[in-house]
Structure 1
Amino acid sequence: MIRYSLVCAAGHGFESWFPSSDSFDDQAARGLVTCPVCDSPKVAKGLMAPSLARTDRARAPDPAPGPDAALAALPMIAEPERRLRAMLRAVRARVEATAEPVGARFPEEARKIHYGESAERPIYGQASPEEARALIDEGIDVAPLPPMPDDRN
């Protein structure tokens, strides 16, 4: 079985399983593959990365493709969504270029900065929803960093 990431002419992303590549091609040509959102039969394969298990080492995160390459590969995405995705990438790139990554120490570092125990500086990292709520309840200004858009959905 093959799982394909699919995109309709209106830009809706979805996934579907097929017994083979030929099976998808045949069903799509006959109009049997339709978008679950708008029922359009104009469906194309989206970008997919192979998922290969490695046993010799821990899996490294997939490198992020450049925004131009990722967007150019998705001609069926509507222009407003392309602009939104580009803005999200720009916001994230700006934060990553100007702030210090502190990882899982984010709640601790944010508190140190807020209470004057550490130099004031821009930081970013990870916090659980509970940790973020606790920071906000303490009066510490935090905001979620927009995730990188998944160009397959």
Structure 2
Amino acid sequence: MRETASLGAHSPQESCLLAVSDEGVRGIWSGLTEDEIGSRSMSDVVRLNPWWLRTESFLGDEAREVKAQGVGTERSPLDPGTAGVSQDANVWWASSTCGGRPAVHTHSVQYPYETYIRQRLQPLFRAHVTDAAARRGCTDLEFPSGSTFRAH
């Protein structure tokens, strides 16, 4: 019996865009405090600012080139072997080693969605990175500290 690699198993990059449905927004919105909501209305959020986040994994040489950039800020490297958050760009990253090569795993969260899910993001981020690492046979996972997921 011959085993074959799964689709994308040798690709140096993989990504997924996760969008929150209108129903999902309503569910999250109903659990927010008045301070979290501020002057925004849910109908404006649904109509004008769809909520999404992007997960990406970069492997090998691609991992050494990953940078985050927020609006009006310089690009900052997300170095393999490190983990953290780029506050200006709303990007969290983790690292691992896949077959002896570096890997960087990111979650980019669209503003202002980041404001509402920051404290709820850690389990989702850990699940994504753990799954991506397991599918690639990666080890030595390095995650950002829990404090990076708290409101700033």
TM-score by length of 2: 0.23
More strand by share: 2
TM-score by length of 1: 0.22
